[in-house]
Amino acid sequence: MDRRFNREQEKLRERTRAFVQKEVPPEVARRLDAEGAYPRGIMAKLAAQGFWGINVAEKYGGRGGGIIELMIFFEEISKNLPVLAWTSGNVLLYGNNILQVNGNEEQQKRFLPGLMNGEYLFCFALTEPDAGSDAANIITRAEPVDGGYRINGSKVFISGASVSHIAVTNTRTASSRYKGITSFLVDTDQEGYRAAPIRKLGYKGSDTCEVYYKDVDVTRENILGGEDCYNQGWKQMMRLLNGERLVLSACALGISETVLKGLVDHLKERQKISRIQGRYQAVEHGIAEMAARVEAGRQLAFQSAWMVDQQMECVKETSMTKLFCAETGKAVTRLGMEVMGRLGYTMECDLQRFYRDIPILSIGGGTSQIQKNIISKLMGL
Ligand SMILES: Cc1cc2nc3c(=O)[nH]c(=O)nc-3n(C[C@H](O)[C@H](O)[C@H](O)COP(=O)(O)OP(=O)(O)OC[C@H]3O[C@@H](n4cnc5c(N)ncnc54)[C@H](O)[C@@H]3O)c2cc1C
């Protein structure tokens, strides 16, 4: 047993690992990737097996887990079909986590039970054509009308936006860059809401969309956290960042571990055929180096998670973790391509899927360059 985890956490890892092995074996992962559709069947099974309660407070019927439980789940669920991590985010992160960190009690009571039983999906709508890394640049606006607010504007690259029931929508409500943003729980059945999926390189099936809001009306009660949180959207988002960085780091670790294991198996086979000692030493050194980097990433990730749990100041550590794990993931998959040679280049080889999936982990949740900006700033530069 890993000394960093308690018995419950070890059980969660075993349960998630068993789920992935049974429900998402490589042939299923290949089929789902090729189809590119939102994996509703697998999501329903995850709901039925109680995974959607792992980070919900016990008072709402959940398991009461925190960041470590989320990381364990996201690391394991990324191993055969990484997009499942993204779609799980439509419940665990954009639903459960956002509501518990920033929602009020009425909103938690209204939505958490339905999130846990698989009835609801949430998406998080922040990015706009001119507001990616510079997220405070959003211009989608919510203007006061009788009884509430009217939203007009558009978003891009919103994952799960055409399948979700609620879009947590960040809007401009005053001119102040940071104190003029309000987050609304928008019912996607509402007239004027439209989402159109974007074709993309990897993470096929995550339903990443352009979203249009045309005169979408919301009530004051639908301000995330309630009326007191008007113009508090930026502050609310900042509270999510440490967790988001660590969860994405866990996804990168899961992918890296699968790719490394595949490479070791492949090389062992090759060595059986060609017994010339030392022939593969350069490759072996590459793999050893990557294995060391992945292990270092895990240490850093769970050390940072422990700091989050202890409510310690750890923005620098979570940024370092995200930077290191995402870049390590890219390096591991690139090495994989080199080692596999022509085999890695075929669509029959699973490696090509991980190679297509991994780049998003150094883009979403703050790019690697943005993490470097944060780290250097916190070092006083
Ligand atoms: C598959 C996918 C799913 C996504 N899902 C969601 C979602 O569900 N919800 C959502 O709101 N968004 C989502 N996004 C958007 C994501 O959050 C943004 O792509 C990300 O914030 C980066 O913004 P950008 O793509 O506009 O890049 P830009 O900000 O335009 O950056 C382009 C390049 O410039 C660099 N750069 C920018 N500013 C700086 C700076 N100050 N210093 C140094 N370098 C800089 C960046 O690092 C990057 O290399 C998703 C994106 C993808 C690809």
Backbone angles phi, psi at 131, to 5 degrees: -145, 90
Residue 183 CB burial class (10 angstroms; 0-12, 13-18, ≥19): buried
pLDDT for 125 equals 98
Decide if 19 contacts 52 (C-beta within 8 A): no
- Give me ligand 1 centre to Cα 133, in Å: 5
Is residue 151 within a helix (H) or strand (E), and if so which, with residue range?
Answer: strand 148-159
Give ligand 1 pocket residues (Cβ under 6 A).
Answer: 123-127, 132-133, 157-159, 200, 203, 208, 360, 363-364, 367, 369-370, 373
Query: Per the structure block, which two tokens stand in for 276?
Result: 């010339």
Nearest CA-CA partner of 168 in 180, 185, 154: 185
The tens digit of pLDDT for each residue in 22-63 reads 999 999 999 999 999 999 999 999 999 999 999 999 999 999
- Which ligand 1 atom is at minimum distance from the Cα of 369? 47
- Give me ligand 1 centre to Cα 266, in Å: 35
Query: Per the structure block, which two tokens stand in for 302?
Result: 């769970």
Shortest-distance Cα residue to atom 41 of ligand 1? 370
pLDDT for 117 equals 97
Q: Is 213 helix (H, G, I), strand (E, B) or coil?
A: strand
The alpha-helical segments, DSSP class H, found in 274-309 are: 281-309
Query: Per the structure block, which two tokens stand in for 153?
Result: 């504007």
Backbone angles phi, psi at 212, to 5 degrees: -120, 135
Cα–Cα distance measured from residue 103 to residue 93, given in angstroms and rounded to the nearest whole number = 13
User: Which residue positions in the chain have pLDDT lower than 50?
Assistant: 1
Pocket test for ligand 1, best of 157, 171, 184, 248 (most atoms within 8 A of CB): 157
- Which ligand 1 atom is at minimum distance from the Cα of 94? 8
- Give me ligand 1 centre to Cα 265, in Å: 35
- Which ligand 1 atom is at minimum distance from the Cα of 373? 42
- Give me ligand 1 centre to Cα 360, in Å: 9
Cα–Cα distance measured from residue 127 to residue 170, given in angstroms and rounded to the nearest whole number = 9
Cα 68 versus chain centre, distance: 14
Pocket test for ligand 1, best of 367, 370, 371, 373 (most atoms within 8 A of CB): 367
Shortest-distance Cα residue to atom 48 of ligand 1? 367
Cα–Cα distance measured from residue 172 to residue 233, given in angstroms and rounded to the nearest whole number = 9
- Give me ligand 1 centre to Cα 362, in Å: 9
The single residue listed with the structure tokens 């159109």 is 196
Complete domains list, the chain, with CATH = 7-120 (1.10.540.10), 123-231 (2.40.110.10), 240-378 (1.20.140.10)
Q: What is the pTM of this model?
A: 0.97
Cα–Cα distance measured from residue 345 to residue 89, given in angstroms and rounded to the nearest whole number = 30
pLDDT for 197 equals 96
Decide if 52 contacts 376 (C-beta within 8 A): no
pLDDT for 3 equals 67
Shortest-distance Cα residue to atom 16 of ligand 1? 364
Shortest-distance Cα residue to atom 23 of ligand 1? 132
- Give me ligand 1 centre to Cα 368, in Å: 10
